[in-house]
Amino acid sequence: MRYELLGVESLYQGFFALNRYCLRFERFAGGFSPEINREIFERGHAVAVLPFNVTRQEVVLIEQFRPGALEAPGGPWLTEIVAGMIEPNETVESVARREMQEEAGLMPLRLIPMTRYWVSPGGTTESIYLFLGLIDQMPMDEFFGLPEEHEDIKLHSMSLDEALARVDAGSICSAAPIIALQWLDRHKAQFRDVAS
């Protein structure tokens, strides 16, 4: 299957960017689609990490204000996992370590790749690399975040079962923590062996 990118027009450039793509793509039944135009939100790519203390069988989650979630059932303070954008010349692993330090005061003993997923590929180019970050300590403080980035982060430590119950109840309602917690639930047996 092929596609042809015929042009990209810049519509807006600020903290994020908005571009208009002109393209056409090969159809499953053969031939090409007509030319289509789509406005695409250019956010960049991100890394998200679920800190997990194997010995205690606890995860560390963060809570922060999210302006895009004003209509969320519990309001725009979402329970999420550590995350940050990939800057030029950074590896995904270095971003994972940096964000764990900045947002939770933690350094991972080991980073275990979970998956990479596209956030909403019909309208944005953003993808997220997900990791499990194994830790042997729990956070010493409750509040984190960089003032220059206007971050105001509160930490929550809890068992995996409690976190999954919050997913089921809808109080954890953003994609990265839901995917990461469900991945850990599916693979938790291999981490019990590490703890013993």
At a CB cut-off of 8 Å and minimum separation 6, what does 20 contact? 8, 9, 11, 37, 38, 39, 40
Cα–Cα distances (Å) from 78 to 111, 129, 166, 192, in that order, read 24, 19, 12, 29
Identified catalytic residue from 63, 87, 149, 162: 149
**Distance separating alpha carbons of residues 40 and 35, to the nearest angstrom:** 16
Mean pLDDT (the chain) is 93
Residue 108 has pLDDT above 50, yes or no: yes
In the chain, ranges of CATH 3.90.79.10 domains: 46-195
**Distance separating alpha carbons of residues 171 and 72, to the nearest angstrom:** 9
Task: Tell me which of 147 and 87 has the higher pLDDT.
Answer: 87
Mean pLDDT of 168-194: 91
Phi, psi of 31 (to 5 degrees): 75, 180
**Distance separating alpha carbons of residues 59 and 51, to the nearest angstrom:** 6
pTM: 0.90
**Can you name the CATH fold of 46-195?**
Nucleoside Triphosphate Pyrophosphohydrolase (3.90.79)
Active site residue 102: no
Please report the pLDDT score of residue 195 as a whole number.
45
Tokens 């695409």 — which residue?
40
